[in-house]
Amino acid sequence: DAGVIQSPRHEVTEMGQEVTLRCKPISGHNSLFWYRQTMMRGLELLIYFNNNVPIDDSGMPEDRFSAKMPNASFSTLKIQPSEPRDSAVYFCASSLPGRMNTEAFFGQGTRLTVV
Amino acid sequence: AQTVTQSQPEMSVQEAETVTLSCTYDTSENNYYLFWYKQPPSRQMILVIRQEAYKQQNATENRFSVNFQKAAKSFSLKISDSQLGDTAMYFCAFMKHGSYQKVTFGTGTKLQVIP
């Protein structure tokens, strides 16, 4: 398996524009997580899905952020409109079903720069 | 809510020497998992080692071992025979036992292995 695949790896956009980050989890994994990493706040969990259903979105900072998981193999994180303070590395991670499968596998992240 | 604290923002160690990274956490849960993740300059988050809270024996993975002190809520990582490839950010993380695997990360320790 190729692992968790995120696209794009880098994104530079102007303030006010819409940004969509994409994630393909590992096949067979039923939990999917979106994290944001910044120097100031470290790794923050934004939202996570189980069986394509959002379980906890309390980490989503504002209504400008939204996430979807239309099927088991694809998820998006959208920011609209984007702001310079949204600049960060955004990680997607997935994990296997079952209580004993505790490891989260991470993608390589999308570095977002909003100018 | 759970919190994870890493009090050492940066550390350095000579190649082939041993280094210990500190982590403390706060939780009211009795069943949980603890992790150390490594993030090299490539940005990829890689699981280094995991510990189940109900196990008294400290986990080991080759040159990596932990000192898990449940009563003190302490979970340190020891790296023996440090190698240049160990240079990375190291994140301590906590996950409550249960069906949904929400992981809380510490702020990280930047480790530099010096030749």
**How close A74 gets to chain B, by Cα (Å)?**
19
Task: Assess whether pLDDT exceeds 60 at residue B99.
Answer: no
Minimal CA separation from B18 to chain A, in Å: 26
The pLDDT confidence band at residue B104, using thresholds 50, 70 and 90, is: confident
Residues 6+ apart with CB under 8 A from A42: B91, B105, B106, B107, B108
Tell me if A33 and B91 make a contact (CB, 8 A cut-off).
no
* Contact between residue B23 and residue B11 where contact means Cβ atoms under 8 Å apart: no
pLDDT above 90 as % of chain B: 77
In terms of pLDDT, which residue wins out, B103 or A46?
A46
- B43 confidence band (pLDDT: 50, 70, 90): confident
B48 C-beta neighbours (distance < 10 Å), count: 20
Closest to B36 (Cα-Cα) out of B4, B72, B71, B14: B4
Rounded CA-CA distance B10/B14 in Å is: 14
pLDDT at B15: 97
**Are the beta carbons of B95 and A50 separated by less than 8 Å?**
no
Predicted confidence at residue B20, as pLDDT, reads 98
Determine the average pLDDT of the residues in B95-105. Answer: 76
Residue A21, token pair as written in the block = 């980050």
> What percent of chain A has pLDDT above 90?
73
- The verdict on a CB contact (< 8 Å) between B42 and A108 is yes
Is residue B2 less than 8 Å (CB to CB) from chain A? no
Angstrom distance (rounded) from CA B59 to CA B66: 6
